[in-house]
Amino acid sequence: MDPMSLKQISPDAVILWKWGFFSINLTMVFTWAVMALLVLVSWLVTRNLSTGTKISRWQNLLEVLVNAMRNQIREVSQSEPDFYLPFIGTMFLFIAVSNFLAMIPGYVPPTGSLSTTAALAICVFIAVPAFGILEQGVGGYLKHYIQPTVFMLPFHVIGELSRTLALAVRLFGNIMSGTKIVAILLAITPLLFPIVMQALGLLTGIIQAYIFAILAMVYIASGTRARKEKEDTEKEQEKADRSNKLQKKGENNG
């Protein structure tokens, strides 16, 4: 019934099929199932989109989702969201759907395995310099590592590594604790109490997906924004200088 026993801490340990070096475990199966579901639903919905006043329910759902994601990204990054939307939106949708399906019996969320969350966190780890370099070039991005002084270089590097680890372990710990607590409660007090914890698990799952996406956006924005702010302040200073000079000239003339 339950594909994962109490002793197994992540769905990685459940191996369904093995042939020589290759093996297929539960995590891979459910990851592909979630991806197939996402692709299928988006394909079915976007097949006949309408721009008129009458839209289908599913198009309405997708529009609400995409709009909400765009608004959140715009607020966090203070710039146009379309550049970041594909990456952040995919992360959010994948994590949210894979956590949300946890109410289906026999399903184990693939985000409850450290390999999946580590892969997602490594995607963020690579995306931060990628977006930074796309926005401001290699030199401009690398310059922020030595921003106040050269001595800050090791701290920047340690910070990038530790926040990647924190992203992975946070998501894994939250989802794994949810499934584990439900499994333990099923053994002690069956029927009613596990349902309450399952409902709480749904809430935590959505919040964790939101937090993962927001944190990824904050990290990417912090890698790209530093230089923009500097340029803005320089421009403002130039303006202020110019107006000061004009004022002085006016005073001299008068």
- Is 173 a binding residue for other proteins by CB under 8 A? The answer is yes
Q: Residue 182 pairs with which residues in a beta bridge?
A: none
58 or 210: CB nearest other proteins: 210
Tokens of 170: 């946070």
- Is 174 a binding residue for other proteins by CB under 8 A? The answer is yes
- Contact between residue 11 and residue 30 where contact means Cβ atoms under 8 Å apart: yes
Q: State the alpha helices, DSSP H only, in the chain.
A: 26-46, 57-77, 85-100, 114-143, 153-188, 193-253
Angle between helices 114-143 and 193-253 (to 10 degrees): 10
How many residues belong to the chain?
Answer: 254
Minimal distance, residue 50 CB to other proteins, in Å: 31
CA-to-CA distance for 3 and 6, rounded, in angstroms?
A: 10
- Per CB under 8 A, the list member of 103, 153, 207, 246 interacting with other proteins is 207
Number of residues that bind other proteins (CB under 8 A): 23
39 or 184: CB nearest other proteins: 184
- Is 8 a binding residue for other proteins by CB under 8 A? The answer is yes
- Contact between residue 143 and residue 155 where contact means Cβ atoms under 8 Å apart: no
Minimal distance, residue 9 CB to other proteins, in Å: 5
- Is 41 a binding residue for other proteins by CB under 8 A? The answer is no
Minimal distance, residue 90 CB to other proteins, in Å: 20
- Contact between residue 110 and residue 116 where contact means Cβ atoms under 8 Å apart: yes
- Is 9 a binding residue for other proteins by CB under 8 A? The answer is yes
- Is 166 a binding residue for other proteins by CB under 8 A? The answer is yes
Site for other proteins in 63-102 (CB under 8 A): 72, 75-76
Angle between helices 193-253 and 85-100 (to 10 degrees): 160
- Contact between residue 92 and residue 69 where contact means Cβ atoms under 8 Å apart: yes
Minimal distance, residue 81 CB to other proteins, in Å: 15
64 or 207: CB nearest other proteins: 207
93 or 213: CB nearest other proteins: 213
Give buried/exposed letters for 92-107 (b at 16+ CB in 10 A, else e): bbbbbbbbebbeeeeb
Applying CB under 8 A, which residues contact other proteins? 6-9, 72, 75-76, 166, 169-170, 172-174, 176-177, 180, 207-208, 210-211, 214-215, 218
